[in-house]
């Protein structure tokens, strides 16, 4: 396993340069409870960023996270992606995914992503004949080449009657399917020996699996259902031990984690709706979602509202980039009071995209 | 006779069909690709294309029949959309 991961990391090493950094997502930490309990509604986006051929993105937020992501479009609307994500220390200025002495670094997540777009928009014979009749009339009235007339031409410049008849011809949107598998390496130091206080190091590779299906209802709205499985380990509590220092009357103390890390398995489902509003441009957007964790018996509801327009370095608008997110986390067995379960956070992020930056 | 079709899709999804009179699809092209199929004079066909994108996108279609046939003059279409778009077009044709 180590050898395979090493080869992959080595291969990616050639692609890790000259990439723009993606704006860092800055969030308030009021929902730290969510993060600690591995229950992050905002991290449950049904769609990963896709899809441009041989696309590579990399990020490095000092003291937090370093990430590279490689994506490729295959035939028949299949897309594959590979990513390496590394948690880094507060003072680190580079993310070291792998080194020769210790292998894959702790805090590294290696992920694979597959996306398939299902789309069968072919009209029925009757539907096409209806469009053909409308297009023939439109071309005649406007003096244009019949073969270049499109659905949108009629919908925009047709007569009210033509528009009405055209609305009977329904266009189909694609359906997106996404599978994400990742492995995270975690390292723990602990002692299980209360006599000698001998410290033990242990590494775990923990799997994560995510499945999602997304259905656009229009060009401004999108519904996604996703399931995720994760296995994690949580360190036990820290204890401080005081021991005599030789035969002197002095003593020294050391803080150790006592006991093996606890394994934690979580199954979650998430339902997410993205909707943007506005006449011509997007004035504001919402991204409500509801997440349920089967093992923890917790439910989170979140409602991010985006209304702050972002701008490029030259002052050109580049879409909604900020807003406020409201949420509520509760046990389903007994509802948490609103005061304890409610949270709010500021959002400053990359531009909002109804379809999660889906690109061809 | 043969029809050669080339499609390009920049930033969006595109699919093009050539369908015979029985409703059977005899050629499907997805995105940036090209393809060809044989056509029989006297039979009615339809060429149908669809595009979809959540952002600005550009598409082109270029189709020619060899040898030249008055039933299908060379067809070139370029479409640009400045924002999210879903569109389609198409026509019936019969080779002489």
Instruction: Indicate the range of A39-48, A59-68, A163-172, B4-13 predicted with least confidence.
Output: A39-48
At A209, the pLDDT band (50, 70, 90 cuts) reads very high
A174-203 residue pLDDT tens: 898 999 999 988 888 888 777 777 888 888
B43: pLDDT strictly greater than 90: yes
pLDDT of residue B42: 95
pLDDT of residue A88: 64
Determine the CATH number of domain A2-123+171-359: 2.40.160.40
Structural domain spans, chain A: 2-123+171-359
Interface test with B, best of A73, A122, A220 (most B CBs within 10 A): A122
The alpha carbon of residue A52 is apart from the nearest alpha carbon of chain B, in Å, by 8
A146: chain B residues, CB-CB within 8 Å = 91
Instruction: Indicate the range of A185-194, A331-340, B37-46 predicted with least confidence.
Output: A185-194
Find the CB nearest B13 among A148, A174, A220. Answer: A174
CA distance A350 to A334: 36
Classify the complex by whether its ipTM is higher than 0.90, answering yes or no: yes
Between A167 and A274, residue with greater pLDDT: A167
A104: pLDDT strictly greater than 70: no
At A228, the pLDDT band (50, 70, 90 cuts) reads very high
B19–A132 C-beta distance less than 8 A:
no
B17: chain A residues, CB-CB within 8 Å = 122
Q: What are phi and psi of A173, to 5 degrees?
A: -100, 160
Q: Is A150 on the interface with B (CB under 8 A)?
A: yes
B12–A360 C-beta distance less than 8 A:
yes
Q: What is the pTM assigned to this prediction?
A: 0.68
B48: pLDDT strictly greater than 90: yes
């Amino acid at each position: 396993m180590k050898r395979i991961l090493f080869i992959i990391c080595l291969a990616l090493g050639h692609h890790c340069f000259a990439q723009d950094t993606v704006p860092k997502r800055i969030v308030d930490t009021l929902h730290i409870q969510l993060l600690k309990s591995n229950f992050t509604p905002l991290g449950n986006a049904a769609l990963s960023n896709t899809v441009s051929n041989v696309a590579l993105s990399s990020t490095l937020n000092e003291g937090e996270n370093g990430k590279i992501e490689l994506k490729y479009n295959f035939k028949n609307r299949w897309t594959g992606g590979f990513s390496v994500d590394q948690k880094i220390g507060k003072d680190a200025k580079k993310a070291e995914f792998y080194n020769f002495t210790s292998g894959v670094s702790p805090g590294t997540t290696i992920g694979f992503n597959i996306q398939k777009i299902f789309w069968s928009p072919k009209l029925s014979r009757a539907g096409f004949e209806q469009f053909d009749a409308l297009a023939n009339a439109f071309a005649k009235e406007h003096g244009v080449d019949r073969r270049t007339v499109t659905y949108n031409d009629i919908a925009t410049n047709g007569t009210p009657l033509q528009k009405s008849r055209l609305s009977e011809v329904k266009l189909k949107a694609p359906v997106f399917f996404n599978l994400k598998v990742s492995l995270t390496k975690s390292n723990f130091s602990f002692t299980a020996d209360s006599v000698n206080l001998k410290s033990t190091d242990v590494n775990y590779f923990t799997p994560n699996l995510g499945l999602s299906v997304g259905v656009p209802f229009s060009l401004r709205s999108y519904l996604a259902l996703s399931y995720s499985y994760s296995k994690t380990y949580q360190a036990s509590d820290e204890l401080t031990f005081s021991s005599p220092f030789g035969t002197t009357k002095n003593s020294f103390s050391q803080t150790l984690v006592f006991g093996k890390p606890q394994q934690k398995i979580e199954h979650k489902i998430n339902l997410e709706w993205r909707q943007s509003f506005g006449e011509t441009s997007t004035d504001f957007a919402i991204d409500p979602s509801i997440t349920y964790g089967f093992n923890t018996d917790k439910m989170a509801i979140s409602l991010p509202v985006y209304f702050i327009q972002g701008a490029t370095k030259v002052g050109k608008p580049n879409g909604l980039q900020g807003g406020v997110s409201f949420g509520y986390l509760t046990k389903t067995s007994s509802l948490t009071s609103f005061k304890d379960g409610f949270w709010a956070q500021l959002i400053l992020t990359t531009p909002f995209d109804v379809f999660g930056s889906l690109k061809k | 006779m043969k029809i050669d079709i080339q499609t390009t899709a920049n930033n969006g999804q595109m699919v093009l069909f050539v369908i015979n009179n029985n409703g059977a699809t005899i050629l499907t092209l997805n995105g940036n690709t090209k393809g060809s199929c044989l056509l029989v004079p006297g039979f009615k066909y339809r060429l149908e294309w669809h595009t979809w994108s959540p952002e600005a996108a550009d598409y082109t279609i270029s189709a020619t029949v060899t040898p030249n046939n008055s039933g299908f003059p060379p067809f070139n279409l370029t479409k640009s959309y400045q924002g999210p778009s879903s569109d389609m077009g198409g026509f019936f044709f019969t080779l002489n």
